[in-house]
A and B are shown apart, each in its own frame.
Chain A
Amino acid sequence: GENVEQHPSTLSVQEGDSAVIKCTYSDSASNYFPWYKQELGKGPQLIIDIRSNVGEKKDQRIAVTLNKTAKHFSLHITETQPEDSAVYFCAAGLGRDDKIIFGKGTRLHILP
């Protein structure tokens, strides 16, 4: 089955700087890669997703890149703000309405 590795487990960046979180996956059949943000005591919220026919996707300060050959994808957050502090999870699966397997999460701290 699918296995998703996520690094780093903890990341601290200065407010205004960029943050990068990286994930790798094992199943070459996976075609769908969402990223979720989870705040304390809440469920995960989708922040961006990408399908395997696209190499890069951007939404304001958030961008995701995908290298299907190498089986890795990354989340980039630019101009970080205090409200970006949270736990971020990457995931991989066959499609939007199929099951997805989560990485172990990255705790992002934005330092004032």
Chain B
Amino acid sequence: GAVVSQHPSWVICKSGTSVKIECRSLDFQATTMFWYRQFPKQSLMLMATSNEGSKATYEQGVEKDKFLINHASLTLSTLTVTSAHPEDSSFYICSATSGNQPQHFGDGTRLSIL
């Protein structure tokens, strides 16, 4: 089946630094990728929709200057958390889809800001 790879799986960094998370579709070309945030024991909250070659569409309440999304190719999207603070600590998950395919999810990145 379709595989989506996310890297890194876990990152710990100091407050004020920026962190980049990669999302790759390994065996299909993803025209659309989605970024979600999930707090412990809670649901997935959509942050933004990313289409290859165009600017991401952010959900209401998500700061686009805080969470930079780049979708430069049909197999790679990146999420950069800029000037991260402890409240940004969360589980970030991406998904990818193409045409009539359902969303396939990566295994997430656990971000811990000290």
Contact = CB atoms under 8 A, between A and B. Distances in A.
Contact of B100 (A89, A96, A102, A105): A96
A97 B45 CA distance: 17
Interface in B71-114: 93, 95, 97-108, 110
Given A42-B108, A43-B107, A101 B46 contact: yes
Contact of A43 (B6, B32, B98, B100): B6
Interface string A81-102: 0000000010000001101111
B67 interface: no
Contacts of A72: none
Given A89-B43, A89-B44, A96-B103, A43 B93 contact: yes
Interface string A62-87: 00000000000000000000000000
A111 to B, nearest CB: 20
Contacts of A104: 42-43
Contacts of A101: 46
Considering the complex of A and B, which 10 residue pairs feature the smallest CB-CB distances, nearest first? A43-B105, A43-B107, A104-B43, A97-B97, A102-B43, A102-B44, A44-B105, A96-B102, A43-B108, A43-B93
Interface of A: 34, 36, 41-46, 49, 89, 96-97, 99-105
